[in-house]
Structure 1
Amino acid sequence: MYESFYGLTKKPFQITTDPSFLWMGKKHREALSTLKYGVMDNKGFLLLTGEVGTGKTTLINRLVEDIHGKAYTAKIPDPGLSKYDFYRMVSRYFGLPIEVRTKSDFIEPFSRFLNDAHEEKKSVLLLIDEAQRLKHDLMEEIRLLSNLERQDAKLLNIFFVGQSEFNSILLQPENRALMRRITITYNIDPLDQAETCAYIRHRLKTAGAGYDIFSSAAMEAVFDFSRGYPRQINIICDLAMFFSSQVSRRTISRKIVDQCRERISFSVDELPSETRTNHRAPAPTNHYQPAQRNRRRWLSAARVLGAAAVLLLIGSGVYFLPDPLKDSAGQWVRETYRTYFPGSGNPSAMVPTVDSASPSANPGDATAAPHSPPLVVTPPLADAPALRMPNQPPDLDLPDTADARPRPAATAAPSAASSEPPVAAVKSSAAELPDPADAIDWLLNKRKQELSQ
């Protein structure tokens, strides 16, 4: 877009990892030589770490290019895989015709491949990029792959490339076995101001620039923004070259870099202003909970316990009352019950019953017709309540004693050989039943005798 304006053959600050734009500073040359030595000497596990945008991927691409023809390489760009997917990807990148269904399907052919490479005097390098995404179970599988070795040489080199937090992952107790097998480590630091200026000039020269497009003040402003991270250098330099071409300025000044910096939402390693100068409100400690309807709000534990305590107190008080008070209370309850429920009394105490199994205990107190079962009047029970008498009993012409009444003729008990029971004979005719008035007279006479005593 702006290449022709500056006389360039291609854009110098692309985000892609183009090996032709690799700038080998002192730190990068040291890292490259160290890692190349570890691979070619079969050191086993290697580790390269650095912050985001420090040029790790560009460096390992240069490493692969330098050892081309001397080693078999396979690069896993994203290790967030399952165990068998990892084995399938390794087989495909090494060019092995393996259909992985079980672990043995992968281990046996891969072991033969490593031995064949050793016979050819070639190293085998497995590159795992973004190593901070590795899970513990997959890290254990990778560690076990390093056991495929000979007594005199390592057959597989495993190269971890990740961000700085991968060091903390390795320090966890469950990963200490893998950490102790790493023989070579290197960490890439950001560039300083002098290296940033050399980096910008190198990229512009590689793209075909014939003069210094960025002024010294502009490159200083680029370093203030990027803090030496190559990726951020590429972002702001590319934007500055675009804006400078729009205003037809072939030399980029500090003012243009500052204007581009305002259009970028954030800078590297710079905290947001709200966390540096302001204090955020604390997060709420109580979480939202939907309202729940309580259909029995009146029924609570305190009320239930209170009601139980009151009932217990009343029951214990009644239990310890003196017997006279208990009798008075019982009499009052019975009288109240008869007052409000007059038809629900016990009729057995007032209605005469007919005993068909045996003759009358007092045949002179009842009158019965010949050949009829005797009338047996059952007196009221001793614990039954006393009959309520009016204040002034009616004037009745009653004999003084029961002997003054005419005695009926004694009747014999019904024969046991009778085919029909006496009860059936009583129910056969209503005229044969005794007169109820005699029973009432007997009851009144008995009550009068009890009162006179």
Structure 2
Amino acid sequence: MYCSHFNLKKKPFQLSADNSFLWLGNTHARALDLLKTGIDEAQRLMVLSGDIGTGKTTLIHELCHCLPQTTAVAHITDPSIERHYLFLSIAQGLGFDGLYGEGEKFAPVLWAFLKRQSQAQKKCLIIIDEAHLIPEQFLALLSSWAKFAPENTLTLILAGQLELHQVMEKTLGLSWQKQVGVHAMLSPLEERQTRDYINRRLELAGATHRIFMPDAVREVHRYTKGIPRRINIACDQAMIAAYTKDMQTVDAQIFQEAVGILKLPQVPAVVSPPVPVPQAQPTDPKPRRPKKILAILAAAVLLIVIAYSFYPRILSVPDQISLPPNKTPALQKGMVIVPTTPPPQAPPLEPGQAPQVPAEKTAAEYDRTPDMDEFIKEVFIMDKADSMARALDPFPRPSTHKAPASETPAVPPASRNQDPEPAYDPTQDPSAQPDPDAAIDWLIRKKSR
């Protein structure tokens, strides 16, 4: 839009590689001569490296325009694509794509084609642009092609950024420089070269007067560090700024304003930083939520443990019996159960007779103490002595306590005036035959005093 304002035929500063605006400084001219000489001498592997925007692609395009028609060129702009498409692009560039199909091995087809080119005294050139992105396997494959290709037939050029050196060292080893026949490196322009570069492009675009003042050229070099791509971007913005102000020249002030516009996308928007919220702040419920959950889980586990511990005891106590708060001798007397002999088997049931159900245990039986165990032990000893005495007595007296109701003989009731049977006392008559039941009752009364 500013071409008519400055009386220009076409836009002088553009990003696309246009060889009509080619300007070769000392570094670029020397690199181009090295590559041309390497192709003429049939060098097998050549490297062109430089920082981004230094003009590698422009130099490659100029090299391709200078080659004779007898040289077949395959230019790969993106080596990171799938290997099959890499091989297909090479086959199409060199002219034997009709011989290579998908799924076939590429090396035998390439060898056959190179052999025919060697017999016809023709050369093949494979250029890999952006070679710093090349996969390691493909780079190793290219190195093998360069070694075993027919003599004076195949030349490989790897053009990439400075990272290409590390990639080749990693893949080919420390001796990769010995495998490279030509190594050309592009460097940024100096301030004088920057001025010549700007003036040459404006001249080729049709400028009739000086547009960039010396102070503006110094600002351009300081801002762009001599990188040709950056020079194109900065000068294009400066000419737009001069056009908006209706000025025919670009000075340092205009350039600084244009550079300020370019820097805007690079500077992040001013946004106030968020206020850091401490994790232990009581007003924020999110940090405390995990603690609450852990506390709830711990309480639930505790309740489960308590319920599991007391639940069997609760089930074992009958609901209709309430345990007394204190243990008394009377309670101990009622809960004494002395297992002397195996329980007698129940007699066979007669027709219509209901089976006898054993009495349930009292609640006191679940509360045993050491004193009670000692008492039961003593009773067990007395009962054992009674059993031995019964065995020696030829005329044992039947026990009224253990005999069933149906087998008890009929005894006339005692008279009311008759004195009751004296209680058993072992100190009165030691020679008398002891009654086991009376001995047990006497022992219980003695313990309860």
Q: TM-score range by the shorter chain?
A: 0.5 to 0.7
In structure 2, distance between residues paired with 1:250 and 1:297: 82
Distance of aligned partners of 1:350 and 1:445 in 2 relative to their CA distance in 1, 3 Å threshold? farther
Aligned: 1:88 with 2:88: yes
1:253-402 alignment runs, 5 A limit: 253-265=251-263, 294=294, 297=298, 348-349=339-340, 353=344, 385-387=377-379, 402=393
Distance of aligned partners of 1:78 and 1:339 in 2 relative to their CA distance in 1, 3 Å threshold? farther
In structure 2, distance between residues paired with 1:133 and 1:404: 120
In structure 1, distance between residues paired with 2:203 and 2:330: 121
Cα deviation code 1:40-69 (max 9, x no counterpart):
211111101111111111001000010141
SS of equivalent residue, structure 1 residue 237: helix
- Identical columns (%): 24
CA contact (8 A) 1:143 1:178 kept: no
Distance of aligned partners of 1:75 and 1:434 in 2 relative to their CA distance in 1, 3 Å threshold? farther
- Consecutive unaligned residues of structure 1, counting only runs of 5 or more, are 274-288, 301-335, 357-381, 390-398, 408-429
Corresponding residue for residue 28 of structure 1: 28
In structure 1, distance between residues paired with 2:377 and 2:136: 90
CA contact (8 A) 1:148 1:156 kept: no
Distance of aligned partners of 1:144 and 1:298 in 2 relative to their CA distance in 1, 3 Å threshold? farther
Cα deviation code 1:205-256 (max 9, x no counterpart):
1111122121222222211111111111111111111221222221222221
Corresponding residue for residue 444 of structure 1: 437
Cα deviation code 1:340-362 (max 9, x no counterpart):
99999866437863699xxxxxx
SS of equivalent residue, structure 1 residue 146: helix
Code of the aligned partner of 1:444: D
In structure 2, distance between residues paired with 1:266 and 1:245: 20
Cα deviation code 1:297-348 (max 9, x no counterpart):
5899xxxxxxxxxxxxxxxxxxxxxxxxxxxxxxxxxxx8x99999998664
1:33-72 alignment runs, 5 A limit: 33-72=33-72
- How far did residue 189 of structure 1 move? 0.6
CA contact (8 A) 2:140 2:172 kept: no
In structure 2, distance between residues paired with 1:18 and 1:342: 120
1:72-111 alignment runs, 5 A limit: 72-95=72-95, 96-102=97-103, 104-111=104-111
Corresponding residue for residue 137 of structure 2: 137
SS of equivalent residue, structure 2 residue 379: coil
SS of equivalent residue, structure 1 residue 46: strand
- How far did residue 73 of structure 1 move? 0.7
Distance of aligned partners of 1:384 and 1:347 in 2 relative to their CA distance in 1, 3 Å threshold? closer
Code of the aligned partner of 1:97: G
- Consecutive unaligned residues of structure 2, counting only runs of 5 or more, are 269-286, 302-326, 348-373, 382-389, 399-403, 412-433, 445-449
CA contact (8 A) 1:83 1:141 kept: no
**Worse-matched range after superposition: 87-96 or 33-42:** 87-96
**Worse-matched range after superposition: 257-266 or 347-356:** 347-356
Distance of aligned partners of 1:346 and 1:94 in 2 relative to their CA distance in 1, 3 Å threshold? farther
SS of equivalent residue, structure 2 residue 377: coil
CA contact (8 A) 1:98 1:105 kept: no
SS of equivalent residue, structure 1 residue 121: coil
Corresponding residue for residue 324 of structure 2: none
In structure 1, distance between residues paired with 2:84 and 2:179: 23
SS of equivalent residue, structure 2 residue 137: helix
Code of the aligned partner of 2:437: L
**Worse-matched range after superposition: 211-220 or 221-230:** 211-220
Corresponding residue for residue 210 of structure 2: 212
Distance of aligned partners of 1:403 and 1:341 in 2 relative to their CA distance in 1, 3 Å threshold? closer
- How far did residue 92 of structure 1 move? 2.7
- How far did residue 186 of structure 1 move? 1.1
Distance of aligned partners of 1:260 and 1:450 in 2 relative to their CA distance in 1, 3 Å threshold? closer
SS of equivalent residue, structure 2 residue 181: strand
Code of the aligned partner of 2:102: R
- How far did residue 134 of structure 1 move? 1.6
Q: When the two structures are aligned, how many residues end up with a matched partner? A: 337
RMSD of the alignment, in Å?
Answer: 4.3
- How far did residue 141 of structure 1 move? 2.1
In structure 2, distance between residues paired with 1:154 and 1:178: 21
In structure 2, distance between residues paired with 1:18 and 1:105: 38
- How far did residue 135 of structure 1 move? 2.2
SS of equivalent residue, structure 2 residue 80: coil
In structure 1, distance between residues paired with 2:228 and 2:107: 40
- How far did residue 448 of structure 1 move? 9.2
- How far did residue 4 of structure 1 move? 1.4
Code of the aligned partner of 2:39: V
SS of equivalent residue, structure 1 residue 109: helix
- How far did residue 29 of structure 1 move? 1.2
Code of the aligned partner of 1:195: Q
CA contact (8 A) 2:118 2:152 kept: no
